[in-house]
């Protein structure tokens, strides 16, 4: 088990961050996952009518709500399966902007979320006065991409955990990773 404390952040703490959370836990990493959106949004029966929930609503409650609305539709589109996975990992989606934990690395799953994390970290007074590496890898918000993204994030975190001096090694490590996975990586250091 690594001493590295990792947060994985997407918009709703439902798909991408939770898939990576599950992968990292299985590999023995100390990980939490979050969302940065105003609300938790899941596809609805039509594109213009998503299912919206507050952060903190139990995955069980969301699961039951979708079961009542249309069990066949939400089984077929994979949402019930995803929620079943999520409720085995933690009780509910959590909003990043209300957490006070200190992480070594925060990995975001899209550039907009990366910007929100950086803005939030920059707007608050540093509590721990410790550096945190904020890294973005763009992952489309669908089941297949979330699985691929979780493999990539797991590989990236494994390489970070093997470093004896992550602060000095991270630029080279991410450059090599970016070349290998053929996806642009954004990164910066913020103080937490």
Q: What is the overall mean pLDDT for the chain?
A: 95
Overall average pLDDT of the 72-89 stretch:
96
Please write the tens of the pLDDT for every residue from 100-125.
899 999 999 999 999 999 999 999 88
Domain ranges of the chain: 6-37+95-191, 40-89
Please write the tens of the pLDDT for every residue from 147-169.
999 999 999 999 999 999 999 99
Per the rule left: phi > 0, alpha: psi between -120 and 50, beta: everything else, 56 is left
What pLDDT is attached to residue 47? 83
Kindly state the tokens that stand for 153: 């994030």
What pLDDT is attached to residue 46? 86
Overall average pLDDT of the 35-47 stretch:
93
Overall average pLDDT of the 55-73 stretch:
97
pLDDT tier for residue 1 given thresholds of 50, 70 and 90:
low
Fold entry, domain 6-37+95-191: Rossmann fold (3.40.50)
Please write the tens of the pLDDT for every residue from 16-32.
999 999 999 999 999 99
Distance of alpha carbon 73 from the chain centroid = 26
pLDDT tier for residue 126 given thresholds of 50, 70 and 90:
confident
Q: How far is CA 41 from CA 15, 48, 70, 99, in A?
A: 11, 12, 17, 20
Kindly state the tokens that stand for 66: 């979708």
Overall average pLDDT of the 86-101 stretch:
96
Alpha helices in the chain (DSSP H): 16-26, 59-76, 79-89, 111-123, 143-162, 166-181
Overall average pLDDT of the 79-92 stretch:
97
pTM of this structure: 0.95
pLDDT greater than 80 at residue 174: yes
């Amino acid at each position: 088990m690594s001493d590295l404390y990792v947060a994985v952040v997407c918009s709703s703490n439902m798909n991408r961050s939770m898939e990576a959370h599950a992968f990292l836990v299985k590999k023995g990493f100390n990980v939490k996952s979050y969302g940065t959106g105003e609300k938790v949004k899941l596809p609805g029966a039509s594109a213009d009518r998503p299912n919206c929930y507050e952060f903190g609503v139990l995955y069980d409650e969301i699961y039951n709500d979708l079961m009542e609305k249309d069990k066949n539709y939400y089984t077929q589109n994979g949402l019930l399966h995803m929620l079943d996975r999520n409720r085995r990992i933690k009780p509910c989606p959590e909003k990043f902007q209300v957490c006070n934990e200190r992480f070594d690395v925060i990995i975001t799953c899209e550039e907009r979320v990366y910007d929100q994390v950086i803005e939030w970290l920059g707007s608050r007074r540093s509590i721990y006065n410790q550096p945190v590496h904020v890294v973005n890898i763009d992952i489309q918000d669908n089941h297949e991409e979330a699985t691929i993204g979780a493999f990539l994030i797991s590989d990236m975190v494994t390489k970070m955990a093997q470093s004896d001096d992550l602060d000095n090694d991270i630029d080279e490590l991410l450059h090599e990773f970016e070349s290998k996975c053929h996806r642009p990586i954004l990164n910066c250091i913020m103080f937490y």
